[in-house]
């Protein structure tokens, strides 16, 4: 199969960047999309050119490191699929594919298709955890969790943090990502003590990092390779509202003695 690739080339964060055209002959149907780029890169190295930089690691769709847009769609057109799991049998002879990095103010380009997604780490830092230290946990079976709640929590926890939701959103909102973590912990008994505070601080951090607001367009969920549902944003908003209405400064204090 013959394909034409128009790939975004940008030397570093300061470079303006441009699309460069590459003709691919003999693309095998069984290849993954990234394997096709591997083949291109081997060819570029052979010619003494710099290969296309793109991130990938596990190549089984779970680490969340890979991702770019193909013809404007994050991870391409196949549902529930990261680019590392996207196989060439879904493309046809002569297609022109435009590859560009996930675009968002909060995701500066590192080089070519590789971006900096550390803003998402900082959202987790703002409260995407249960505040417990190793060593103090009680027996796991002493916390009963209904199968349904556990399954719903797992659905939300499946987020791989790839950033496709942000790239798909016209507002570059990371609400699906943020809502997924808030939902996972909010559904479980372990997450209750910090539930409201978590929603408040994570949502605040989300805005501070330069992500846009959610206007419930739904592109995020469509693009999500793990099928995270819009419902997580509703749950986030609910917790955020509850948190806002009942917000009190910490009373401080601390023990004497």
Partner 1 sequence: MATLDSRIPPGPLDRKWTKRKEDMKLVNPANKRKYTIIVVGTGLAGASAASSFGELGYNVKNFCFQDTPRRAHSIAAQGGINAAKAYQNDGDSVWRLFYDTIKGGDFRAREANVYRLAEVSGSIIDQCTAQGVPFAREYGGLLANRSFGGALVSRTFYARGQTGQQLLLGAYSSLMRQVQLGKVQMFPRTEMLDLVVIDGRARGIVARDLVTGKVESHIADAVVLATGGYGNLYYLSTNAKNCNATAIWRAHRKGAFFANPCYTQIHPTCIPRAGDYQSKLTLMSESLRNDGRIWVPKKAGDKRSPDQIPEDDRDYYLERKYPTYGNLAPRDIASRAAKQVCDAGLGVGPGGLGVYLDFSESMKRLGKRAIAERYGNLFDMYERITGEDPYTVPMRIYPAVHYVMGGLWVDYDLQSNLPGLFVLGEANFSDHGANRLGASALMQGLADGYFVIPYTIGDYLARGGIAKAGTDHAAFKEAEKVVDDRTKKFLSINGKYSVDHFHKKLGEVMWNDVGMARSKESLERALQAIPEIRAEFWQNVKVPGSGADFNQELEKAGRLADFLELGELLTWDALQRNESAGGHFRVEYQTDDGEAKRNDDEYAYAAAWEWKGEGQPWVLNKEPLAFENIHLQTRSYK
Q: Using CB under 8 A, which residues numbered 47 to 66 contact partner 1?
A: 48-51, 53, 55-65
* Contact call for residue 111 and partner 1 (CB under 8 A): yes
Residue 224 phi, psi (nearest 5): -65, 120
Beta bridge partners of 74: 69
* Contact call for residue 220 and partner 1 (CB under 8 A): no
Neighbours of 235 (CB within 10 A): 21
- Phi/psi-derived region of residue 227, left when phi > 0, alpha when psi is between -120 and 50, beta in every other case: left
* Contact call for residue 191 and partner 1 (CB under 8 A): yes
Nearer to partner 1, 157 or 217 (CB): 157
Tell me the closest approach of the beta carbon of residue 69 to partner 1, in angstroms. Answer: 17
Q: What element of type H or E holds 18?
A: strand 18-24
Identified binder of partner 1 from the candidate list 23, 25, 147, 250, rule CB under 8 A: 147
* Contact call for residue 20 and partner 1 (CB under 8 A): no
Nearer to partner 1, 210 or 216 (CB): 210
Rounded (5°) CA angle 156-117-70: 85
Q: Which stretch binds partner 1 (CB under 8 A): 68-76, 93-101, 143-151, 231-239?
A: 143-151
Tell which positions 80-99 bind partner 1, by CB under 8 A. Answer: 80-81, 85-87, 89
* Contact call for residue 145 and partner 1 (CB under 8 A): yes
Side by side, which strands form the sheet with 96-100?
18-24, 3-9, 96-100, 69-70, 73-74
CA distance 68 to 56: 11
Identified binder of partner 1 from the candidate list 3, 24, 70, 120, rule CB under 8 A: 120
Q: What element of type H or E holds 232?
A: helix 231-245
Contact 223, 73 (CB under 8 A): yes
Nearer to partner 1, 24 or 172 (CB): 24
- Residue linked to tokens 């199968």: 147
Q: Which stretch binds partner 1 (CB under 8 A): 17-25, 38-46, 170-178, 249-257?
A: 38-46
Nearer to partner 1, 48 or 252 (CB): 48
């Amino acid at each position: 199969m013959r394909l034409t690739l128009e790939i975004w080339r940008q030397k570093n964060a300061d470079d303006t960047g441009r699309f460069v055209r590459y003709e691919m002959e003999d693309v095998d149907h069984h290849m993954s999309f990234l394997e096709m780029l591997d083949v291109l890169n081997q060819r570029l190295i052979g010619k003494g050119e710099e290969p296309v930089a793109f991130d990938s690691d596990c190549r089984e769709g779970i680490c969340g490191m890979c991702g770019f847009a193909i013809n404007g769609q994050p991870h391409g057109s196949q549902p529930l699929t990261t680019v590392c799991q996207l196989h060439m049998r879904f493309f046809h002879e002569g297609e022109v594919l435009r590859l560009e990095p996930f675009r968002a103010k909060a995701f500066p380009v590192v080089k070519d298709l590789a971006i900096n997604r550390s803003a998402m780490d900082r959202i987790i830092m703002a409260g995407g955890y249960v505040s417990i230290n190793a060593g103090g946990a009680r027996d796991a079976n002493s916390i009963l969790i209904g199968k349904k709640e556990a399954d719903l929590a797992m659905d939300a926890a499946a987020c791989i943090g790839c950033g496709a939701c942000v790239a798909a959103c016209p507002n570059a909102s990371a609400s699906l990502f943020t809502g997924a973590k808030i939902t996972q912990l909010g559904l479980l008994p372990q997450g209750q003590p910090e539930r409201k505070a978590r929603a408040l601080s994570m949502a605040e951090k989300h805005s501070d990092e330069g992500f846009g607001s959610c206007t419930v367009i739904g592109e995020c969920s469509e693009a999500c390779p793990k099928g995270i549902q819009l419902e997580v944003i509703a749950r986030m908003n609910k917790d955020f509202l509850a948190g806002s209405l009942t917000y009190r400064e910490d009373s401080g204090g601390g023990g004497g003695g």
